């Protein structure tokens, strides 16, 4: 049968078999590698080879324990303590999984919506793996895409914490992270991080200057505000220790078919995870001999 005859027999709205449809595809920029969330391999790789690599290996000299507790595949929710003026803990956790795990995987960090108010910062965050902290986003990443998601349930309460209150965990919200993990049937991996409190200590919060500048908060640290905004990255060389704890399953049949509907159960699991991380921090601090050398 002639080629034009075959084409004419194709159903309306469908291309004939063998038709080359590539000319109809949108243009592809070979150097632009961005996923659906806006993550850029090029930007993230540049950050990793420069800042993150330096801080992880030379400045903080990170020690990692229990990395095997992070699943090699499937969705999992990573839950960690959070502290410091501009905390470096998220980058160090992601770097640890990339460097130390037998099956390195990317980590998606949930961030609060108030970061949208900072144009340059808000443009950079998605490119290095940050996603808006919304239950639908977390569920999609855990259940549909089977990815690792990192959350800090202390939120702003953790980053606003003063140095005198170091390593005392704030309340883990309303347990939304547990509910998200239960809906996705994904395990929760608690993480205890020691070192961030001393690397970026906050000695005071100045509320009037916070309102005047429009910043999320206006901390007084060893390098901020007297060194300007770059002073927020003026980390002290504290020794970092990251301990990945045993995963907490959320698909236990004893929980029932829809455990996320049981708010008391959700709160109980959240409280237990918080207590586990707090106890681990106490143990790690008891083992530490020096803030700077571990």
What is the model's pLDDT at position 10? 47
Give the pTM.
Answer: 0.85
Q: Which residues contact 260 (CB under 8 A, 6 or more apart)?
A: 178, 179, 182, 183, 266
- 174-189 residue pLDDT tens: 899 999 999 999 999 9
Q: What is the pLDDT of residues 193-219, one digit of tens each?
A: 999 999 989 888 888 877 777 777 778
> What was the pLDDT predicted at 1?
45
Q: Percentages helix, strand, coil for the chain, rounded to the nearest 5?
A: 45, 15, 45
- Cβ neighbors of 130 (< 8 A, separation 6 or more) are 108, 109, 110, 111, 115
Q: What's CA 86's distance to the chain center, in Å?
A: 14
* Mean pLDDT for all residues in the chain: 86
Does residue 281 have a pLDDT over 50? Answer: yes
Q: In this predicted model, what pLDDT tens digit does every residue of 52-77 receive, in sequence order?
A: 999 999 999 999 999 999 999 999 99
Q: Is the pLDDT of residue 8 over 60?
A: no
């Amino acid at each position: 049968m002639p080629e034009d005859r075959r084409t004419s027999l194709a159903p309306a709205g469908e291309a004939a078999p063998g038709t080359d449809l590539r000319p109809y595809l949108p243009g592809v920029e070979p150097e632009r590698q961005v996923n659906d969330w806006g993550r850029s391999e090029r930007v993230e790789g540049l950050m990793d080879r420069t800042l993150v690599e330096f801080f992880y290996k030379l400045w903080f000299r990170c020690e990692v324990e229990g990395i095997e507790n992070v699943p090699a595949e499937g969705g999992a929710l990573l839950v960690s303590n959070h502290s410091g003026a501009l905390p470096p803990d998220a980058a160090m956790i992601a770097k640890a999984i990339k460097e130390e795990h037998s099956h390195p995987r990317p980590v998606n960090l949930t961030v609060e919506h108030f970061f949208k108010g900072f144009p340059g910062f808000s443009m950079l965050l998605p490119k290095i793996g940050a996603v808006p902290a919304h239950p639908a986003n977390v569920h999609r990443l855990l259940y549909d895409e089977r990815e690792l998601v990192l959350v800090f349930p202390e939120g702003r309460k953790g980053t606003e914490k003063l140095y005198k209150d170091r390593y005392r965990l704030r309340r883990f919200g309303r347990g939304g992270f547990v509910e998200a993990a239960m809906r996705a049937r994904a395990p929760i991996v608690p993480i205890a991080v020691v070192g961030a409190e001393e690397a970026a200590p906050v000695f005071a919060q100045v509320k009037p200057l916070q309102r005047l500048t429009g910043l999320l908060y206006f901390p007084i640290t060893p390098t901020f505000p007297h060194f300007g905004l770059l002073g927020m990255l003026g980390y002290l060389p504290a020794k970092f220790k990251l301990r990945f704890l045993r995963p907490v399953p959320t698909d236990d049949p004893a929980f029932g078919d829809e455990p996320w509907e049981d708010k008391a159960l959700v709160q109980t699991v959240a409280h237990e995870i918080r207590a586990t991380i707090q106890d681990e921090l106490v143990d790690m601090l008891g083992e530490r001999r020096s803030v700077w050398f571990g």
